[in-house]
Amino acid sequence: MEDSALERLAPEFDEDATVLAAQRGDHTALSDLYAHYFPRVYRYVGARLTSTHDSEDVTEEIFLKIIDNLPAYQFRGLPFGAWVFRIARNEVVSHVRRQKVRGTTSQLSETIADDSADHTREVETQLTIAMVRTLTERLPDAQRQVITLRFGAGLSVAETAQALKKTENNVKVLQHKGIARLQQMVARQ
Amino acid sequence: MIRLFDRKPGANAAVLAEARALMDEGLGLEFVLDLFPEDAPWLREQLALTESLAAAYAAEPATFFFEANLKAKFLAAADNPRVPAPAAPATTAFPFKTAVTSLSLASAAAAAGVVTLGFVTAGGAVPGDWNYGFKLAGERLQYALSRGDDRVNVQIGQAEARVYEIQQLSQHGDVSTSDLSRLQDQVQAIATLAQSKPLDDVQKARLQGVAQTTQVVLQDTKTRQPSLDEPVVAAGAAIHAAVVMALSATPAATATTTTTATATITATISPSVTPTVTTTATTTPTPPPTETETPAPTVTETATPNPTETPAPTHTATATETAEDQGTATPSPSASTTPEP
């Protein structure tokens, strides 16, 4: 069987043991945690924020908060991944709030993938990203949270439920409603 | 009627979630759809959309530079956390409510005791003492409750306290830049207050005392803590400037306003009167303007008695006549002389 999307993002690892080692300051464990969560967190943040610059800033802040609070993390029914994405979600929400207060400025993305020489495809990709962001922005907040965690960060339904403090059934329904609504919006366009 | 036989909305959501989970595991779209033949028509579009979403989000990866740079920061921060990690919450749950209540009451009483003790003993506290915060809080309260002159006195008193604190700290070489800036702010506040209301003699004398003591204390600080040389010099200069400003503040602002006010009043009145007099005099020869102007001609004419009339008094040279005509005689010459020329 082909590797799953999450496994492609980061190889499977013993999360509990890695977190314990990371809490003791083991750099290998910290590197593993970083390798496992960086792509997911960055994609989640990128799914919520339009500017690459903002995404990088917020991702950095999230990881520094993770490291600051890591010694205090305890396995008490909340998986480490859900804990990480609660921090990520809070950071994104507070960034969006700050941005609303300051007023938004749209910036062009600086990270169009450069490994392809086909610039038409790059432009199409950028347009698709822009369209997806625009459409998901129109979703109700709860649906948008679920969609970005599920498809932006690649979390499972269970992980999304834990990160958002919701039941799995609730997440399934929100996901279904969000997809159905996006479907209608795409059809209208 | 047909809706009665429809599945619950949650059922479709569950099917979508299950199908999508299978795709997350790496199964292809067609394979997954074969597992849900009844739902394939609507499920196909929704699964395709989720694929597009995931692909769109994944299409913008982070730059290698950013990822590597953040990793370095992440690992460095593990060795030097920005904030101390909060202590793990105590897990010992006390089983008895009464005990918890009494404990909270005892802690509240202890806190009240600490607050009281803090305020009582805060008088001689210096920065770094446990009760220094109480001292500052008390000062803020004192300032907030003061008005007018009293407010300046409070500020001067607090400046004296700051100087005393620096003096105490200086003996142990513990003066910091924040202590200097606190004193600087205090003196600056006095200067600001003095701008609105000049200091009286007693206040000036007290402020001069503060300034002199400050110079001595700062000199001492500079000697004991050479590392603070620059901030001390800067603070000394700023304090000196503020003191000079406070001492030289005079009620100039009020004086200038009054003088300009009177000046403008006279300026406006005098031109406005003269034109009205002249215009009314020329346009209407009615009594009011002529009455006001008449004194001037009569005075001038009587002041220049013409030599041709001198024979008239000599004509009435008898003493009896002049004695009888006193009071009426003075207007008569002027009345008689005006038509004559």
Query: Tens of pLDDT along B92-111?
Result: 444 566 777 777 778 877 87
> What is the distance between the alpha carbons of residues B245 and B259, in angstroms, rounded to a whole number?
24
Chain A CB contacts of B57 under 8 Å are 43, 46-47, 129, 132, 148, 151-152
Arithmetic mean of pLDDT, B321-337 = 40
Q: A78: distance to nearest CA of chain B, Å?
A: 16
Chain A CB contacts of B46 under 8 Å are 176, 179-180, 183
Would you give the DSSP letter of residue B63?
P
Residue B90's pLDDT is 45
* Amino acid code (one letter) for B27: L
Would you give the DSSP letter of residue B82?
S
Q: B12: distance to nearest CA of chain A, Å?
A: 7
Residue A1's pLDDT is 39
Q: In terms of C-beta density within 10 A (0-12 exposed, 13-18 middle, 19 or more buried), how is residue B132 classed?
A: middle
Span A43-100, pLDDT tens digits: 889 888 878 888 899 999 999 999 999 988 887 778 888 899 999 999 998 898 887 7
**For residue B288, pLDDT beyond 80:** no
Confidence of residue B320 (pLDDT cuts 50, 70, 90): very low
Chain B CB contacts of A138 under 8 Å are none
Residue A12's pLDDT is 60
The answer to whether the CB atoms of B59 and A125 lie below 8 A apart is yes
* Residue predicted with more confidence, B327 or B164: B164
> What is the distance between the alpha carbons of residues B184 and B242, in angstroms, rounded to a whole number?
8
**For residue B309, pLDDT beyond 50:** no
State how far Cα A76 lies from the chain centre: 23
Residue B307's pLDDT is 43
Arithmetic mean of pLDDT, B206-228 = 86
> Cβ(B47)–Cβ(B19) under 8 Å?
yes
**For residue A130, pLDDT beyond 60:** yes
Residue B313's pLDDT is 43
Nearest neighbour of B54 by CB, restricted to A67, A151, A175? A151
**For residue B293, pLDDT beyond 50:** no
Between A116-125, B18-27, B322-331, the lowest mean confidence (pLDDT) is in B322-331
Span B237-252, pLDDT tens digits: 888 888 888 888 765 4
Q: Is the minimum CB–CB distance between A28 and chain B shorter than 8 Å?
A: no
Residue A91's pLDDT is 92
Number of other residues whose CB lies within 10 A of the CB of residue A60: 17
pTM over 0.80: no
Span B15-42, pLDDT tens digits: 888 888 888 877 888 888 888 888 888 8
Residue A84's pLDDT is 92
Residue B273's pLDDT is 39
Residues 48-77 of A with CB under 8 A from B: 52, 55-56, 59-60, 63-64, 66-72, 74
> Cβ(B240)–Cβ(B186) under 8 Å?
no
> What is the distance between the alpha carbons of residues A45 and A40, in angstroms, rounded to a whole number?
9
Q: B177: distance to nearest CA of chain A, Å?
A: 29
Nearest neighbour of B13 by CB, restricted to A63, A151, A175? A175
